[in-house]
Amino acid sequence: MIFFSLLAALGLEHFWPLRQPLPHFQYFAQYASLLREKFDGGEHSHGGIAWVVAVVPVALAVWLVHAWLADLSFLLGWAWGVAVLYLTMGLKYYSRIADEIALKLHSDDLPGARQILREWRGGDASGFGREQIASVTIEQLVTHSHRQTFGVLFWFCLLGPSGAVIFRLASILSMRWREASPEFSRVASSIFHALNWMPARLTALTYAVVGNFEDAIFCWRSQAHSWLDPEEGIILAAGAGAMGIKLGQSLTVLGQVSERSEIGVGEDPDAEQIESANGMIWRGLVVWLVLALLVMVASWAA
């Protein structure tokens, strides 16, 4: 039923797309900030306790509701799974933001594109040129597609609705607690690294399949390690190689040039490549849909 769950969640997103800010994630972000204030004493154990307090009650509640509804009716349990998948994915809202930036670039409205990008990623974007705007937008788009779509789907397939919730909350905590003390933040980043190890590689492989396979694998193997976040580097390198573009060039932030590793091959990005990245993500999603359908048909035939 994973195929029908994914299909239903995508249908909900098409007709009722999630829009920023997402209230349920805002509440969790506030809760995560409160836990950091209360538990961050600079110890590794403090980070572990805070992570458990943040994630386990939510995941347990989702699992209990799913078990209760599934016991009442198979369809009720399935509907709950679809609802959780719909609320944890958010595919449409970040792809829509990228489309808005691409439209601004097509009309040469660089200030408008910078404003949308700044609101999306946070931080200064006033010194970004056209190529920098396109590059950072594609990086945001590709990494969000993993954290909010393919990674969520992987754990949904593995553990059901509670798996999707665990991955999504772990992703949020790994980002929200980066500014905490080193020992405290290391727990969240280590847990997310463990949860993300296999999904990140499956996402990268998906991009290779739907794009230029040879260049995607080459960039994955030769460039991913140079990125600050190893899993993110795998996804970005494979995505850039699959599309035949370069990402990761230097950025001008608050008047200072910030050097970054260059990943990918081919041409510098522009508005057209933002649209190509969106297309690559949707093609990848179709691949996952087809695989889910094949698994379902094989289980029926067995």
- pLDDT for residue 210: 95
Residue 167 contacts residue 195 (beta carbons within 8 Å): yes
Report how far residue 224's alpha carbon sits from residue 219's, in angstroms, rounded to the nearest whole number: 7
Report how far residue 125's alpha carbon sits from residue 121's, in angstroms, rounded to the nearest whole number: 9
The contacts of residue 20 (CB under 8 Å, 6+ apart) are 93, 97
| Torsion angle of C-alpha atoms 115, 120, 121, 127, degrees rounded to 10 | -10
Res. 300 pLDDT band, cuts 50 70 90 = confident
Task: Determine how many CB atoms are found less than 10 A away from the CB of residue 20.
Answer: 13
Copy the structure tokens of residue 300.
């029926």
Res. 243 pLDDT band, cuts 50 70 90 = very high
Report how far residue 302's alpha carbon sits from residue 300's, in angstroms, rounded to the nearest whole number: 6
Nearest to 124 by CA among 139, 109, 114, 113: 114
- pLDDT for residue 296: 83
CA dist 75 → 13, 70, 78, 159, 199 (Å): 20, 7, 5, 18, 28
Percent of residues, the chain, with pLDDT higher than 90: 63
- pLDDT for residue 81: 94
Choose between 60 and 230: higher pLDDT.
Answer: 60
Long-range pairs, 39-45, Cβ under 8 A, ≥24: 39/184, 40/180, 40/181, 40/184, 41/181, 41/184, 42/181, 42/183, 42/184, 43/183, 43/184, 44/183, 44/184, 44/186, 44/187
- pLDDT for residue 230: 83
What is residue 270's three-state secondary structure? coil
Report how far residue 282's alpha carbon sits from residue 95's, in angstroms, rounded to the nearest whole number: 10
How many domains does the chain fold into?
A: 1
Res. 206 pLDDT band, cuts 50 70 90 = very high
- pLDDT for residue 252: 67
pTM: 0.92
Using the predicted structure, report yes or no on whether residue 20 has a pLDDT greater than 70. Answer: no
Q: What angle do CA 171, 89, 149 make, to 5 degrees?
A: 75
Mean residue pLDDT across the chain: 90
Res. 57 pLDDT band, cuts 50 70 90 = very high
- pLDDT for residue 126: 81
Residue 284 contacts residue 6 (beta carbons within 8 Å): no
- pLDDT for residue 96: 87
Using the predicted structure, report yes or no on whether residue 299 has a pLDDT greater than 90. Answer: no
Rounded to a whole number, what is the largest CA-CA distance in the chain?
63
Copy the structure tokens of residue 101.
């930036």
Percent of residues, the chain, with pLDDT higher than 70: 97
Using the predicted structure, report yes or no on whether residue 70 has a pLDDT greater than 80. Answer: yes
Using the predicted structure, report yes or no on whether residue 4 has a pLDDT greater than 70. Answer: yes
Domain that holds residue 45: 2-301
- pLDDT for residue 180: 87
Long-range pairs, 151-156, Cβ under 8 A, ≥24: 151/195, 151/196, 151/199, 151/200, 151/203, 152/85, 152/88, 152/89, 153/6, 153/85, 153/89, 153/288, 154/198, 154/199, 154/202, 155/195, 155/199, 156/2, 156/5, 156/81, 156/84, 156/85, 156/88
Using the predicted structure, report yes or no on whether residue 91 has a pLDDT greater than 80. Answer: no
Report how far residue 229's alpha carbon sits from residue 216's, in angstroms, rounded to the nearest whole number: 18
Which region among 22-26, 108-112, 169-173 has the lowest average model confidence (pLDDT)?
Answer: 22-26
